[in-house]
Every structure is written in C-alpha cells, then in structure tokens.
Amino acid sequence: MPAMTINGREAPARATFDVINPSTGSVHAQAPDATPEQLDEAMGSASEAFRTWRRDEAFRIEKMLELSQAMMTAVPEFAADLAAENGKPFDMGGMEGMVAATWLDYYANLELPREILRDDDGARVEVLRKPMGVVAAIAPWNIPIGLAFWKIAPALRAGNTVVVKPSPYTPLSTLRFGEIARDILPPGVLNVVTGGDDLGKRMVSHPIPRKVSFTGSVASGKHVAVAAAADLKRVTLELGGNDPAIVLDDANVAEIAQGLFWTAFFNNGQGCCLTKRVYVPERLHDDLVDALADVARSVTVGDPLQREDVQLGPLATSFQRERVAGLVEDALSHGGKAVVGGKPVHGAGFFYEPTVLTGVDDGVRIVDEEQFGPALPVVTYRDLDDALARANAGTYGLGASVWTSDLQRGAEVASEIDAGSTWINTHAALAPEVPFGGHGWSGVGVENGPWGLYGFTDIQVVHSNRGVPGPGAL
C-alpha cells in the first residue's frame, strides 16, 4: 500500500479505506486513513519546516524546478494511477502530471513583487509579500493532481509549507507525488495525508494552518468558510459551476460542433468550468443538436486499462453516475428527449452513455444545476437579452462562453455575462499565468498567475522614516 508523507518520511498506515476502480466497481487498493495524531504530526512538521523554508528564495526556486522535472518524469505512473482510481484515459491522466510540472515551473520563475511606493528625502515605503505559514490544501477527485498543484506551486513559491489532502476517491496519485517530493523537498515542506471528509474538517479546524485553499463543491465550501472563520484563517474557495455556452445566430454550426461538444464532455463532463448548458437560437437548434449527437455517437467509451483507444472512461464514482442518471430521468419526465444516450451503460463499472438532451428549459434541474457528467442540455432562446438573462440566472458564476463567427461581437456579449472567466469560441482554456476564480457561489479568491500567488501571502509594509524620528502623519 502506498504510504502518506509526513515530515519527509513514509508514514505507516494505522487505519485504511478502500479505493474503488470505477471501471469495474471493485476494490483496486487500500489507502491510509490518517489518524488525528498523524494529522498533528503533519501540521507540526510543516510548521517547523516553515521556519527555514520561508528564508531562502533561491533554494525554494531550485527545489521547485527539481520537483517539476521529477513530476514530468513520473507522468506515465500518474496516468496509470488515475486510470485505476479515477477511470481517466491515459492521455488525460498523464496531462495532470504535466500540469503539475508546468505550474511548478511557472511559479518557480515568477518574481515575488517588491513594490516601492515612496522613496524620497522624507521616507522609503515598501510593500512586501510575506508567506502566511502552513497551508491546508484540499482537493477534489475530478482533477486530483492538477488542481492540487494549482495550490502547492504558488504556496511553496511564496515560502509557505503545505499539508495536502486529496479526495478519498483518488488518494493514490497524490500519495505518489508525496513519495516523489520526499527525495527532493526538505522534511515537512510538503506533507500528504489521506482520508475522508472528516480529515478535511479536521484540517480546517486545526490550529496550525493560517490558510485553507479548497477546491470542491459549494456545499463543502460553505462549511469550510464557516469553520475557517472561527480562527480567521484565510480561504481561497474554488467551487462549482453551471457554465452556459451561448451560440450566436451567426455561428457556423458545422464548424463549432466538435469543439463545443468537447468543452462539455472533456473528462466525462466532470469539470468545474466545462460547458454545462447550451443556449442556441431556434433557427440553429436542430442542426446543432444533430451535429452534437453525431459527435457523441462517435465517442469510444470504455475501461482505459483494457483499451488504448478509450476517449471517455466511467464516471468517477457510483454516486456521481446515480446523480447524472437522476437528472436525466428528471429531464425526460419533464418533456425532455435524449437525442443520443440517456441511460447508464449496463455492467459493473460506473459508465454512462454520452447524452445530448433537447426539449428542456430553464426550471428543469439539469439546466439549473451542475450535473458534473456526460449529459448536455441544449436549450433554445428567443433573443440575446433572453439568452443573457438565462445565462446569468442562478447562483453560480464560474465560466461561460460565446460561439460566433464574429469575434468582436462575441467579446461584447461575453462581457455581459457574470462569470469569472468568459471565452469566445472555446471554453475552459486555462493557463498558469491566467487568473481563474468564480463569481457568486462559484468561489472566493482566485488561483493562478500573480493573483494566485498573492493569495498565499500577507502584505507587509516597511516604512523607513528619513525625517525627524517620531509619529507619522495620517
């Protein structure tokens, strides 16, 4: 069984839990369930390591670049872990290792800003960004390694130390990067603990961390915010989304269908900022639905450990498949039609047919809620005001896209949508230097770019009075 990493060492498991292979529904492995004492040890070692890790910027950069290389080398191992614990096709699992390497590399090379606000005969006033201390990083199951490194890379660069917890559905890939880091980072700088939601709760209420960086559902995010507030811990929350894609009346359906399809079905629809509902003018509706359905029919669904050509694996958990199945059944009972798909794939694994739904409208759950699965509703709209009102309805505001032959018009429409990221003729285009965060219930704070780094720092002003020593004026 892979072990947790605490204080730079392998931490023996005192309790365990099952890891299920979603392609078979059977137990694939055991993972350690961190005890309260082990969490204390991890937090304590991170706190101790912070005393020195924060001091030497050049050393941090060197170690992060080393870790980046090691993560890249381990891409095939991550791909195998993620295929087994998460049902991801190998290329997608491998991509996660590359995301980790890329983010480490980007942040290692990003300058920590030192802003001088004033430098004259009277005074020198400088603004520094200081690390906060220990960061509790909590990740979801849909992109386990990639999203963990959106936190780890900027946190380490700023001089913090980290205790990271993956979802209990995907512990193996995270345990593996803990092993890799053991040989590279000083003890305590990056600790990996595994366990269920209770472990996450204990991390947030633990007295040591000063910052909680959480990616997951809105429901859990609200609990995290409340628990963190008790100790005035800083939080970054990356939560759910119900991203609209608005197809404008000038769009070329044949040209956009394939791309639009994959912005919804990437990772089997299990992504925070994927297209979750499509709005299309009446005139283009039938053509678009037919074209999307054609792509859906062409997709190879299967167990990535059995077939190399798999494009979509199973859903990650049986619960997630039941949720998607329930939302589709609800849509069908409200007059919706599955043009393609519409039901689970028979068998032991958690497979679900790629599904395109029509005949549904706002007010039906699959349009209003985050489905997080391979079922896409296509909804008609009357005019642009109508489309924008629907796109902006609800409590989410993560991403949105506009599909058009006129990029300028697309950008104008996109600017009317209330979301943290808006894209034209693409969706979920993410990069280490581009900030990413949600409006409304989709989150608090942002990740990535310098903004993501600032989220792991406190501001410190250093004011040197060059005049007569004494009080400063307000």
Active-site amino acid positions: 238, 272
Binding of residue 239 to ligand NAD (CB under 6 A): yes
d(C-alpha 130, C-alpha 458), whole Å: 5
> For residue 106, what are the CA distances in angstroms to 64, 102, 153?
10, 6, 8
> For residue 353, what are the CA distances in angstroms to 79, 314, 338?
23, 9, 10
**Residues in 135-154 that interact with ligand NAD by CB under 6 A:** 138-143, 147
What percent helix, strand, coil does the chain show, rounded to 5? 40, 25, 35
**Residues in 248-287 that interact with ligand NAD by CB under 6 A:** 272
> Whose Cβ is closer to ligand NAD: residue 35's or residue 405's?
35
> Whose Cβ is closer to ligand NAD: residue 159's or residue 195's?
195
Candidate residues 10, 48, 179, 197; the one interacting with ligand NAD per rule CB under 6 A? 197
Contact 324, 342 (CB under 8 A): no
Cβ partners under 8 Å of residue 190, min gap 6? 5, 152, 156, 161, 162, 164, 178, 181
Minimum CB separation of residue 139 from ligand NAD in Å reads 6
Binding of residue 174 to ligand NAD (CB under 6 A): no
Q: Give the H or E element holding residue 10.
A: strand 9-11
Candidate residues 241, 269, 304, 354; the one interacting with ligand NAD per rule CB under 6 A? 241
Binding of residue 368 to ligand NAD (CB under 6 A): no
**Residues in 425-464 that interact with ligand NAD by CB under 6 A:** 438, 443
> Whose Cβ is closer to ligand NAD: residue 260's or residue 398's?
398
> For residue 120, what are the CA distances in angstroms to 53, 117, 125, 431, 460?
34, 10, 9, 39, 20
Minimum CB separation of residue 347 from ligand NAD in Å reads 23
The interface mask with ligand NAD, positions 198-237, x = CB under 6 A, is --xx--x----------xxx--x--xx-------------
Show the CA angle centred on residue 401, arms to residues 395 and 406, nearest 5°: 145
386: left (phi over 0), alpha (psi -120 to 50) or beta: alpha
d(C-alpha 153, C-alpha 157), whole Å: 6
Minimum CB separation of residue 373 from ligand NAD in Å reads 11
> Whose Cβ is closer to ligand NAD: residue 167's or residue 263's?
167
> Whose Cβ is closer to ligand NAD: residue 93's or residue 438's?
438
3 state SS of 400: strand
3 state SS of 80: helix
Q: Is the dihedral of CA 232, 236, 240, 243 positive or negative?
A: positive
Q: How many residues bind ligand NAD (CB under 6 A)?
A: 31
Minimum CB separation of residue 162 from ligand NAD in Å reads 14
Minimum CB separation of residue 70 from ligand NAD in Å reads 24
> Whose Cβ is closer to ligand NAD: residue 174's or residue 358's?
174
d(C-alpha 127, C-alpha 119), whole Å: 12
Minimum CB separation of residue 99 from ligand NAD in Å reads 12
Q: What is the DSSP string of 150-202?
A: HHHHHHHHHT-EEEEE--TTSHHHHHHHHHHHHTTSPTTSEEE----HHHHHH
d(C-alpha 140, C-alpha 431), whole Å: 19
Minimum CB separation of residue 372 from ligand NAD in Å reads 6
Binding of residue 160 to ligand NAD (CB under 6 A): no
Residue with tokens 């509902």: 277
Phi, psi of 422 (to 5 degrees): -130, 135
Q: Which residue is nearest to ligand NAD (CB)?
A: 200
Q: Give the H or E element holding residue 223.
A: helix 218-229
Candidate residues 33, 85, 96, 238; the one interacting with ligand NAD per rule CB under 6 A? 238
Minimum CB separation of residue 337 from ligand NAD in Å reads 26
> Whose Cβ is closer to ligand NAD: residue 253's or residue 446's?
446
**Tokens (6 digits) for 349:** 């694994």
> Whose Cβ is closer to ligand NAD: residue 100's or residue 293's?
100
Contact 316, 101 (CB under 8 A): no
> Whose Cβ is closer to ligand NAD: residue 243's or residue 353's?
243
Find the part of the chain contacting ligand NAD (CB under 6 A) among 16-24, 75-83, 133-141, 374-382. Answer: 133-141
Residues in contact with ligand NAD by CB under 6 A are 138-143, 147, 165, 167-168, 196-197, 200-201, 204, 215-217, 220, 223-224, 238-241, 272, 370, 372, 398, 438, 443
